[in-house]
Structure 1
Amino acid sequence: MTSSLPRFMPRRALGRTGFVATAVGLGDIADRAVPRASLVDTLRRGLDAGLNVIDTAPNYEEGLSEEVVGEALRGRRDGVFLIDKVDEHDAPVAPQVEGSLRRLGHERVDLFVFHAVSEPDAWRRLAAPGGGMEQLGACVREGKARFRGISSHHPDVLVAALRSGLCDVVMFPLGPFVDTRYVDDVLPLARSLGVGVVSFKTFGAGKLLGDTEGYGRPLTARPRGKVGSGGHDDRGAPVLPHLSVEECVRYTLTLDPDVMLMGMSHPNEQDAALHAANAWAPLSDETLGHVRSRARAAIDGKGAVWWNPPAVSDVG
């Protein structure tokens, strides 16, 4: 038996799209270890709580995510802002868009973004005449999507994309452990240009909450000598530092993206995340600094932090 969820109301227009979005959105929920019907029910449970932004992609469990999202939205597509991705940057765009629409079983997506545009050269190719952004613009004109944009794990790429004027919405990491350029450079620039902001990495790919190299992958080399507040586990091994769901959610909402995406594949995950979001109040600068410090400790030794790349001098 799961607890009832708080009710969320639309609070802010998502950039120049005009769509008034809830502060929290539903991220990738695909998990082949979970029965498909359970995934659909969990997604609908979030919709019943009022959440009105859903994100998916073809490469989330090889199309399963799109199929689950499409099924969950049958009969309730109105009033939901649906985000999908173009995974292959250098392949023709139209066939990828059409494949996604087939798996979804819907005629149109609100926003298609190029997925993980995290290398400067990748953005240059997409922005070039005849490149992916121009092809995606044609899909918008044909009514297969309403808006276009990118998701990225590179602050400098995002700045270049925003300055190009080609993006209606950008998606990027915001949370207790992200490069300060996302907060100091990308976020205010998007605001000034009227470009929507959808954030991810609230939990640092799960690294901030548990002992993982990201998205449930086990640590290949467990750090030693780092004992968290819990001391040791039942085998005598050091317990690594962690943040709580509430700390991560409160921190990210204080940064104030238009929408904070969270992957919530199970009802208990929804309970924790959505109750934390509902009870949110802005954190003080002092508390933000304290959470950042603890996040550094919680993520240390847990593999690559691919969303915090070094700066580059010229993206184009």
Structure 2
Amino acid sequence: MTDGRTLPRFQPRRQLGRTGFTATVLGIGDLADRSVPLEKCVATLHRAMDAGLNVLDTAPGYEDGYSEEIVGEALRHGRRQGMFVIDKVDFLDQPVTPQVEQSLRRLRLGEVDLFVFHNLSKLETWERLAAPGGGMEELERCVREGKARFRGISSHHPDVLRAALESGRCDVVMFPVGPFVHPRYVDEILPLAKAKGVGTVCFKTFGAGKLLGDTEGYGRPLQARPRGKVSSGGAETGAPALPHLGVEECVRYTLTLDPDVALLGMSFANEQDAALAAAAAFQPLSPEQLADVRQRAQRAMEGKGAVWWNP
């Protein structure tokens, strides 16, 4: 451990769809912050790996390649074995192979376990990629050439996810599951993926941070904060706190819905501590408790900007 703390230890628990890989319940995401030196980011990532987490997510667009550099450095010196590495194709209107090869160079890896089309959230885009000669054929060729082992999509739209799952061309799909997501993700897409043997790696447990704090997402400040009370002298006494949820109830909510992997932000030690403790102490929520968290999540999202992951 990098800080001497004893973290919970996680064991692989379930095969990730038809990949044959046995994944831990939590995955490591949101790794890049250019204000933090590379060696510190790598140490933080190693900390999560030391806790046993074995699914690792990155993308070229996360801090303009910095996330991939962090992941590549963290996996050196014998630490690649046993990790399931997910990377992404960011530009859906450009050739796939050069993007895959550029990512592999930044990672300094010969292959990754899974490449997905990133934020594939329009049905017409999926239809173009899935057409003969389209990007999915190119990604499948990358798989045959040993640049990746599996293929899939990451999406913010249930229609796209349903079409992709029905096509039989995805080994893993990534999509939102958490206290504030459209019910189709949970009621339709999650069971359909499981029925078809497709792995599920799910995000938005914390609603891009909106559920935990006063942010428009990923730490961006709110454009308009509610005004505070005005004292008798005319001075504002501070803006009132907006409703929030806690880390533990958000994690409990997502894990109760039981995706193969819940992908959580793990950029800093305090984030790891809270998320890992919540998962280690997990007890399923009752239907009544799930409904209560959903209701409070709706209040906690009000006034915090667009919810881009819901149709």
With normalisation by structure 1, the TM-score equals 0.94
In structure 1, distance between residues paired with 2:127 and 2:68: 28
In structure 2, distance between residues paired with 1:193 and 1:118: 21
Write the deviation string for residues 185-217 of structure 1: whole angstroms up to 9, x where unpaired.
100000000000000001000000000000111
In structure 2, distance between residues paired with 1:84 and 1:92: 16
Report the equivalent of 2:156.
153
Write the deviation string for residues 136-180 of structure 1: whole angstroms up to 9, x where unpaired.
000000000000000000011100110011100000000000000
Is it true that 1:13 corresponds to 2:3 in the alignment? no
Report the equivalent of 1:63.
65
Structure 1 SS opposite 2:79: coil
1:176-195 pair list within 5 angstroms:
176-195=179-198
Alignment check: 8 A CA contact 2:226 2:239 kept = no
For 1:254, the aligned partner's letter is: T
Report the equivalent of 1:230.
none
Report the equivalent of 1:169.
172
In structure 2, distance between residues paired with 1:204 and 1:28: 13
Q: Out of 298, 301, 304, which is 1:299 matched to?
A: 301
Report the equivalent of 1:94.
97
1:122-137 pair list within 5 angstroms:
122-137=125-140
Structure 2 SS opposite 1:31: coil
Alignment check: 8 A CA contact 1:2 1:268 kept = no
Report the equivalent of 2:116.
113
Structure 2 SS opposite 1:306: coil
Report the equivalent of 2:254.
252
Report the equivalent of 1:219.
222
Matched residues, number: 302
Aligned residues with identical type, % of pairs: 73
Q: In 2 relative to 1, CA 2–294 (structure 1 residues): closer, same or farther, beyond 3 Å?
A: farther
In structure 2, distance between residues paired with 1:112 and 1:197: 14
Is it true that 1:48 corresponds to 2:50 in the alignment? yes
Structure 2 SS opposite 1:84: strand
Report the equivalent of 2:79.
76
For 1:248, the aligned partner's letter is: C
Q: CA deviation at 1:34?
A: 1.3
Report the equivalent of 2:271.
269
Q: CA deviation at 1:263?
A: 1.1
Report the equivalent of 2:233.
none
Q: Which one is further off, 292-301 or 2-11? A: 2-11
The answer for unaligned runs of 5 or more in structure 1 is 226-233, 310-316
Which segments of structure 1 move beyond 6 Å, counting only runs of 4 or more? none
Report the equivalent of 1:231.
none
Alignment check: 8 A CA contact 1:3 1:271 kept = no
Write the deviation string for residues 205-258 of structure 1: whole angstroms up to 9, x where unpaired.
000000000011110012458xxxxxxxx9432110000000110000001000
Cα RMSD, aligned residues only? 1.3
With normalisation by structure 2, the TM-score equals 0.95
In structure 1, distance between residues paired with 2:4 and 2:128: 47
